[in-house]
Structure 1
């Protein structure tokens, strides 16, 4: 089966990733140059989704690995969501009974908070935190707080 542009865009959106975030993940998981891994630009991802030079598939060098990359990103998100449930259960509510859940505006802020996840986009955590709160049915009230 050929991986098409519309499938790429659809799967990216289902994972809750921006084009730039997907570029970071592609750079981490399937760098064009393994000796010097770099994120793929947002512009490149946009072109892949629109069809590079009129083609309806992403470029050859990433075509075969995209399904596995997206599957791996989904696995990382699921693992983060499972871990986030445990993390959130350990947070104490404030005086008003609200549990404050950190979310991150920047990848740097996310990396400072979770050094083992350095290099991954903050949206991975943000997605996992929302999924974890949705899974918890513990009667507590949660509020997402933005960390810059």
Structure 2
């Protein structure tokens, strides 16, 4: 039985680094690329752009997620099994819930590397997943010297 690896993606350099790491470490595994549509993004846009409707926001977030998943799937080598999933909700909660509900063996997540007070005030999805996930979690930071990211 192959290892089921969950890789949350959001289109960032940190997520790309996590995906690369998962492909290198689990070449015989099955990857699930997960994009979580954060409802707070919709709320923020409604507050910032009063002319937007909920339907417009959901479509925009869904399209953003579909694009991020498509880009991530294209980066997976052809010899690695991978699928995509699009979920809604608080990112950390949705990632942990998905891992619990789908018998995930390993979570590989990117970290944006916030330090000190910024991490405390803004919170960290990766940190919340590490604290709550039953499955082992590997946190990967992007290579800050790689200018292609």
Question: Could you say which TM-score interval applies, normalised by the shorter chain?
Answer: under 0.3
TM-score (norm 2): 0.26
- Length-normalised TM-score, structure 1: 0.27
Q: Which has the higher strand share?
A: 2
Q: Which has the higher helix share?
A: 1
Higher relative contact order (CA 8 A, sep 6+): 2
